[in-house]
Amino acid sequence: MKIEINAVLRDAKGTGASRRLRHEGKVPGVLYGGNGDAKSIELNAKDLFMQFKHEAFHASILTLNLDGKKESVLLRDYQMHPVRNNIQHIDLQRIDENKKLSVKIPFHFLNEDVAPGVKLEGGVVSHIMVDVDISCLPKDLPTYIEVDLVNLSIGDSIHLSEIKAPEGVELTALSEEKILLLLLYLNLRLLSKKHQWLLKVTKLLW
């Protein structure tokens, strides 16, 4: 999914200027990195939020159209209003096609409803991690990484070290001990000692 966002250069700076922009239906932001200077920008709040709602907006290369000039960027940070849930500020970083990126991307869990431990044994999947830090060149950046749960039974767990990353992608948080998810019983009275221990571990990790 290719996403393009429009922006214009912003002259006014400071807290007061940013507040006025928001009242006008705009979002202040900054563009930095690459071989260019840092620039203050502004974006249409409604148009930006429509793109922001897509998962791909947060973990893919975006096309920024700044005053008619297009360049590849990556979302690096944003601030949301605690009550209104609208975007208060956004940070975009220019992309160098020859330099590796460090990005956090989500997991997509497949076949959770048909896993034997869920469908036949009445268990529930406890997700310890829902995203992961990766490193790769811009051309290799995936929007997400799939994790297939089709063979998961009660008491099973999947470790981060078991996940096969796409070609050209490195999982930077890789650890033999890092648990991605557990499959547990819903009825705690039916838990064996082994499963009770797993539940305690899950709570500690949370």
Same structural domain, 111 and 195: yes
Rg (CA), the chain: 21
Q: Is the pLDDT of residue 51 over 90?
A: yes
Contact assessment for residue 49 and residue 87, using Cβ atoms and an 8 Å cutoff = yes
Q: For residues 49 and 117, state if they share a domain.
A: no
- At 99-115, the pLDDT tens digits run 999 999 999 999 999 99
Q: Which residues contact 73 (CB under 8 A, 6 or more apart)?
A: 31, 61, 62, 63, 64, 92, 93, 94, 95
Q: Say which CATH number the domain at 170 has.
A: 2.170.120.20
pLDDT, position 154: 86
Q: Give the N- to C-terminal CA distance of the chain in Å, as an integer.
A: 33
Instruction: Identify whether residues 120 and 74 lie together within a single domain.
Output: no
Q: Which of 94, 120, 145 is the last residue of a domain?
A: 94
Name which residue leads in pLDDT, 178 or 63.
Answer: 63
Average pLDDT value for residue range 130-151? 94
Q: How far apart are alpha carbons 186 and 30 in whole angstroms?
A: 47
- DSSP symbol at 139: G
**Has residue 190 got a pLDDT over 60?**
no
Domain that holds residue 61: 4-94
- Length reported for the chain: 206
Average model confidence (pLDDT) for the chain? 86
Residue 93 has pLDDT above 50, yes or no: yes
In this structure, the answer to whether residues 90 and 132 fall within a common structural domain is no
In 3D space, the residue among 129, 158, 128 whose CA is nearest the CA of residue 144 turns out to be: 129
CATH of the domain at 58: 2.40.240.10
The residue type found at 189 is: R
**Residue where the block lists tokens 């749960």:** 149
Say what the pLDDT of residue 170 is.
Answer: 94
pLDDT tens for 66-92 read 999 999 999 999 999 999 889 999 999
Rounded to whole angstroms, the Cα distance separating 203 from 206 reads 5
Q: Which pLDDT band, with edges at 50, 70 and 90, does 98 fall under?
A: very high
Q: Which of 94, 123, 142 is the last residue of a domain?
A: 94
Distance CA 127, CA 198 (A): 13
In this prediction, residue 183 carries a pLDDT of 66
Q: What is the pLDDT of residues 14-48, one digit of tens each?
A: 888 888 999 999 999 999 998 889 999 999 999 99
Residues 105 and 201 in one domain: yes
Arithmetic mean of pLDDT, 173-196: 56
One domain for residues 124 and 89: no
Q: What Cα–Cα distance (Å) separates residue 106 from each residue in 42, 76, 129, 166, 168?
A: 28, 15, 9, 13, 17
As a dihedral over the C-alpha atoms of residue 141, residue 96, residue 70, residue 89, rounded to 10 degrees, the angle is: 80
Q: How far is residue 20's CA from residue 26's CA, in Å, rounded to a whole number?
A: 9
Give yes or no: residues 71 and 89 share one domain: yes
> Do 201 and 123 share a structural domain?
yes
Output the six-digit token pair for 50: 């429509």
Question: Tell me, what's the pLDDT at 198?
Answer: 52
pLDDT tops 90 at residue 63: yes
Closest CA to 73 of 134, 2, 145: 2
